[in-house]
Structure 1
Amino acid sequence: MKRIYKISVAIVTLLAGCSKSGLLDKDTKDSIDAQKFFNTATDLQVYTNGFYEMLPTYTLYTDEDSKSDNLIPLSVDARVKGARIVPPTNASTKWVWDDLRSINFFLENYQKCTDDAAKLKYGGIARFFRAYFYYEKVKTYGDVPFYNKVLSANDPDLYKGRDSRKLVMDSVLADINYAVANIPKEVKLNEITKYTALLLKARICLFEGTFRKYHSLGDHEKFLTEAAAAANELIASNAYKLFTTGGAATAYRELFARNDQDATETILARDYNTTYGRQSVGYLMTAPTAGVYGIPKDMIDSYLMKDGTRFTDQPGYQTKGFYDEMQNRDPRLTQTTAGPDFSVYKETTREPVNLSITTSGYRVIKGLPSRDQWGSLNSYNDIVIYRFAEALLVLAEAKAELGTLTQTDLDNSINKLRARAGMPNLNLAAANASPDPYLEYWYPNVDQGLNKGVILEIRRERRIELFNEGIRWDDLMRWKEGKKLEKPMVGMYFPGLGAFDFNNDGKTDVFLRTDNTTPAPAGTTSIINVNQKRLTNSTSGNFNPMYSTPCTFDEKKDYYYPVPTEDITLNPNLAQSPNW
């Protein structure tokens, strides 16, 4: 299997030198002579290979979701706490412009190539990455300076101010449309194709359309219409389908845990293997001194019952014990978190309960590979960057937000995902007739029209299906639901201290105590001192990993990041992000 390219980075870096502050102001005189490059299809391929470094690595799993309400790590991220500050420099920020200069340098020179097919393909790939670059910038900062040329040190545009979000996103749309029109229809697991461009377009346009709608920016219909159209084109191509190997009980877990992706559902993956390089997903999910991620209870509670009814409609759902709350649920629940009968991937023996590797009690297993890959930098399962399931979710949400969703649309999108999981269909009329009050509590800023109920259900489906794939923060931001971060993020419930049987086999798995000396029953695999792993009511209640970390979200400024102070100083025309 071919990997996402990591060759020729040195060439691209040399061609695209940038200044110490991240501004696009370095002359090309120190670059490779463009007249001696960009002459053949191979030249274009070699150069554009370097753009793939812009794409996520293995930290897409766990790292991004741990900076949202989907995962609670040992150390809560500043943006979740509401503790971001204006950075002094662009180090470790997204206010870096090197990649854009590389892309624009390519676009100014690639037409020298005499291979017309190669120019269309690689020109399309370059514009795919420019769309990707600016999409990331707008998500982070809102209005940003737009550059479609290489800047020299004396270019007056170097120190211009921010361009409007509308101008930038219209340019992003033009770039991604060019990519869709000109990159070939190929199914290639580790390369950008027309299908990758369609999915990126669907993602970009759904984000922008809903952001404009819920932040009252206007003109949201255009982007939602484009999102639905791009998703529908990808679906109608029949180039991909959902991965179902193993059936409802295992397919979802298998999709992410296996070592090597295939192009059944996966549109683009980053390849890791024993030859090219390894990563640390297995270590981060299992080491008691590393990630120690925990899934919050509101996520666990959002999974439906296996018959399609709401778990949160059951009396006393908040105080159910672990074994009981895991019974007869959406099968994706115990393929995402370790359930009562959890066994390690590729093993059959039930794994002992271990609460020392999770803050909330609910440990993450989605994407967890086989045990031999749990050491630091010892995992080599591929990382899924784009997959077909997202197109199904985009189609449903865009049409619901536009008010054009039909039952046929649901059957062609959300209900395919539910079928893969062995779940009943989502019914449009029933969802809208009875919006889920549990979801209404978490998402008060939802459209209050006739599609309110189904939009909430689509949000449920999206969170469950795309959990731990790095999308959750963007979803909260575009829905204008930042205040959700202020609501309690707690873990599993315990009625008091003592012994607990997590798998209903008559043996103690977990023992809670207030000291380190009270003896636990023989065979107990997880002994917890509640003075160290806190409960909400001292000796009872939910695990409370954020007891000392109050979260705040300032609606006036926290939907965007601040620009580094150094860049504001260097460019007096560059305004700081609102209210920072």
Structure 2
Amino acid sequence: MKIKYSIFVAAALAISGLSSCEKFLDRPVLTKLNDDNAWETEENVRLYANKFYADFFVGFGRLNTVSEALLAGYTFSDDVLYQKTQSQFTRSVPVSQIWSYSNIRSINIMLDRVETRMSSKLTEEAFNHWMGIGRFFRGFRYFELVQTYGDVPYYSKPVDSDDTDELYKKRTPRNEVMDHVYDDLQFALENVRLTDGAQSVNRYVVAGFVSRIAMTEGSWQKYYYKNSERAKKFYELALRAGEMVIASGKYDIVTDYRSQFTSENLAGNKDMILYRQYDNALDVKHSILSIHNLTGNVTYGPTTDLLKSYICIDGKTWQNSDVENAKDFTVEEMMKSRDSRFEATFHMTPTAKNRASFLYITKFLPRPVEDLVASGKSPSIEFTGANNTTDAPVLRYAEVLLNWIETKAELATLGGVAVSQADIERSINKIRQRPLAAEAIAKGVKMTAPLLLGELPQDTDRDVQVTSLLWEIRRERRMEMTFEHSRLADLKRWSKLQYMDTKLNTDLLSGSWVNFLKEAPKDLKTGVSIVTLNGQIEVFNPTDPDSPTKMNGFYRDVENLDRLPFLNQANVNPYLSPVGRNQIAEYEAKGYVLDQTQGWPQN
């Protein structure tokens, strides 16, 4: 049983006490902190700030709330196939939709109170630390809003409920908002404490997230807005932040891949910059494993496109690899011929439990549980319902290394120093050299050869608009962070949503390779089809005695439908979300104008 009291647990329990200034300003409180007595000590500020942890660092979510959790919250990308109907981009302005500013208001209250009421009560170091924490969270939240909506109203101070000019003010241009974010993150990098206790946000946690935030904005500026000057500004911040984390020497790649996602206790794990702790004794649990424990049917799984992207263990693509059986896509052979992350991410055999692609995602499921269920037994109670207590990675060192090397490569295209082999060794090859699980070794899994700048893979499927080096860096990111937070966000920041067009990429409508006659004869029935390696579709015909032998290829449900058109459509912008018609009408009724998001119709 876990006994360590995590900051995430503390934050969850604290919400009932010092929940937010908006709430305790509304009424007098006899025994709880209120706005008149809360801003007296550093511990009170800490308690207030802790409540943001669960909002920003979701991990596996809480109980049955999984909408933004790892795996369950990230099933919309070119990595994921749904049975029959694909997930869709928004294609029309909704009736009601707009940004939430609840966190912004709470954070601005914190910053205002620390600045106006506590400057004489805190040491200069403590004052700057808590201002840095507040500005980090504010910058983080505005970054999230900007990624979704582009231009959004910017507020640096709390707004009174009767100040309609401020409440209904126009959207602030994206660049102006992100300049404020830049300043907030810079301040946090310079003032947040190097250490502030286990599982608390410190300067390295800030730096790790800044490497993500600033790299993302740099990409948007380079690829979407075509502004190289602003791209360089944010890339340089991302690079500086990544180097801060790497130079600290506090983190390393020392844990086999799957164990990072299936551990009951990530405390002290050097692969983790920040994680979310779960604890049965404190009733802080989740349900991610229960919806992916090999017992229940799931209707989404990996696309053929994702499976084909895994590099072979000789460091080459499957089309030109010298590894034995590199062109054999059966799951058993792919586990031997592909990068070890393939074996760590998927179940060892095809199964109809995954109705979309016949390949079950087990990246987040402990290996003993996988083996137990595969043997025909039921998982124990802690792997059913909302009883899961495995800890969740929130920010991994591997991501920071990938942010860092991608940022260096992008800066090189903007006049910066070229990426060296030493840079590759420090990042991609360090990740490739992580230990292998004993169970993986027993299956014949091997480490992948190092990436060499002088011998980059010649991928016949490479997007010709992307350099070979950036293509391989992006491939590494895809393999490393599958079903985590990044894939759709990556496609957007690279301005590559066309990768999700099923008309352009038919590999998005099929899943894993299945030799039905050998591996799943009981599942041969009407509705099953396969796609051969050359793209030919074979539909199972129960009246044809030769049909079973033809069912050897990438599984595809015959009722799978193309994604509806979302690119080059009038009044549709899949990169940014529209605000709702009701909200535009509400502004108008108050005598103000709410401009619609770029690319969407105003009325």
Deviates more, 1:373-382 or 1:222-231: 373-382
What is the TM-score normalised by the length of structure 2? 0.79
Q: C-alpha separation between the residues in 1 aligned to 2:584 and 2:226?
A: 25
Tell me what 2:555 maps to: 543
Amino acid in structure 1 at the alignment position of 2:335: M
Q: C-alpha separation between the residues in 1 aligned to 2:144 and 2:397?
A: 21
1:493 pairs with 2:501 = no
1:174 pairs with 2:188 = no
CA shift in 2, pair 1:376/1:292, >3 Å: farther
Q: C-alpha separation between the residues in 1 aligned to 2:314 and 2:182?
A: 41
Which residue, out of 452, 459, 477, partners 2:492?
477
State the 1:549 CA deviation.
4.2
How is 1:396-415 mapped onto 2 (pairs within 5 angstroms)?
396-403=405-412, 404=417, 405-415=419-429
Tell me what 1:41 maps to: 42
- Where 2:395 maps in the other structure, the secondary structure is strand
1:230 pairs with 2:246 = no
1:240 pairs with 2:255 = no
Q: C-alpha separation between the residues in 1 aligned to 2:133 and 2:459?
A: 42
Amino acid in structure 2 at the alignment position of 1:360: S
What is the TM-score normalised by the length of structure 1? 0.82
Q: C-alpha separation between the residues in 2 aligned to 1:191 and 1:358?
A: 41
C-alpha contact 1:285 1:291 (8 A) present in aligned 2: yes
How is 1:117-266 mapped onto 2 (pairs within 5 angstroms)?
117-155=125-163, 156-186=165-195, 190-218=199-227, 219-244=230-255, 251-262=256-267, 263-266=269-272
User: 1:489-542: per-residue Cα shift (whole Å, max 9, x none)?
Assistant: 1112346xx521xxxxxxxx411xxxxxxxx5xxxxxx3434168764312443
C-alpha contact 1:283 1:290 (8 A) present in aligned 2: no
State the 1:438 CA deviation.
1.9
For structure 2, the 5+ residue unaligned runs are 61-65, 370-378, 436-446, 532-536, 541-550
CA shift in 2, pair 1:211/1:14, >3 Å: closer
Tell me what 1:345 maps to: none
User: 1:30-82: per-residue Cα shift (whole Å, max 9, x none)?
Assistant: 587533221111110111111113122414221233122222345867xx423
C-alpha contact 1:61 1:468 (8 A) present in aligned 2: yes
Tell me what 1:54 maps to: 55
State the 1:322 CA deviation.
3.3
Once superposed, what is the RMSD of the aligned Cα atoms?
2.6
How is 1:256-335 mapped onto 2 (pairs within 5 angstroms)?
256-262=261-267, 263-276=269-282, 277-286=284-293, 291-313=298-320, 320-335=329-344
C-alpha contact 1:180 1:198 (8 A) present in aligned 2: yes
CA shift in 2, pair 1:322/1:265, >3 Å: closer
User: 1:196-251: per-residue Cα shift (whole Å, max 9, x none)?
Assistant: 1001110011101111111134121111111111101110011111133xxxxxx1
Which residue, out of 520, 524, 535, partners 1:510?
520
C-alpha contact 2:253 2:270 (8 A) present in aligned 1: yes
Tell me what 1:517 maps to: none
C-alpha contact 2:528 2:539 (8 A) present in aligned 1: no
CA shift in 2, pair 1:399/1:415, >3 Å: same
- Where 1:326 maps in the other structure, the secondary structure is helix
Amino acid in structure 2 at the alignment position of 1:499: L
Which residue, out of 541, 556, 567, partners 1:554?
567
C-alpha contact 1:89 1:564 (8 A) present in aligned 2: yes
State the 1:357 CA deviation.
3.0
1:109 pairs with 2:116 = no
C-alpha contact 2:326 2:337 (8 A) present in aligned 1: no
C-alpha contact 2:220 2:493 (8 A) present in aligned 1: yes
Q: C-alpha separation between the residues in 2 aligned to 1:36 and 1:224?
A: 42
CA shift in 2, pair 1:472/1:188, >3 Å: farther
Q: C-alpha separation between the residues in 2 aligned to 1:333 and 1:108?
A: 49
Q: C-alpha separation between the residues in 2 aligned to 1:254 and 1:33?
A: 43
CA shift in 2, pair 1:33/1:7, >3 Å: same
Q: C-alpha separation between the residues in 1 aligned to 2:319 and 2:383?
A: 35
Q: C-alpha separation between the residues in 1 aligned to 2:316 and 2:167?
A: 57
Q: C-alpha separation between the residues in 1 aligned to 2:493 and 2:408?
A: 16
Q: C-alpha separation between the residues in 2 aligned to 1:567 and 1:11?
A: 33
State the 1:550 CA deviation.
2.7
C-alpha contact 1:127 1:175 (8 A) present in aligned 2: yes
C-alpha contact 2:80 2:303 (8 A) present in aligned 1: yes
C-alpha contact 1:534 1:547 (8 A) present in aligned 2: no
CA shift in 2, pair 1:241/1:187, >3 Å: farther
Q: State the identity as a percent.
A: 26
Q: C-alpha separation between the residues in 1 aligned to 2:241 and 2:560?
A: 44
- Where 1:174 maps in the other structure, the secondary structure is helix
State the 1:106 CA deviation.
0.8
Q: C-alpha separation between the residues in 2 aligned to 1:169 and 1:494?
A: 48
1:573 pairs with 2:593 = yes
Q: C-alpha separation between the residues in 1 aligned to 2:345 and 2:198?
A: 24
C-alpha contact 1:187 1:267 (8 A) present in aligned 2: no
Amino acid in structure 1 at the alignment position of 2:258: R
1:529 pairs with 2:513 = no
- Where 2:257 maps in the other structure, the secondary structure is helix
State the 1:435 CA deviation.
4.4
User: 1:541-563: per-residue Cα shift (whole Å, max 9, x none)?
Assistant: 43225712434332550001111
Q: C-alpha separation between the residues in 2 aligned to 1:378 and 1:548?
A: 36
Q: C-alpha separation between the residues in 1 aligned to 2:576 and 2:295?
A: 33
CA shift in 2, pair 1:385/1:291, >3 Å: farther
- Where 1:385 maps in the other structure, the secondary structure is strand
What count of residue pairs does the alignment treat as equivalent? 514
CA shift in 2, pair 1:456/1:230, >3 Å: same
- Where 2:393 maps in the other structure, the secondary structure is strand
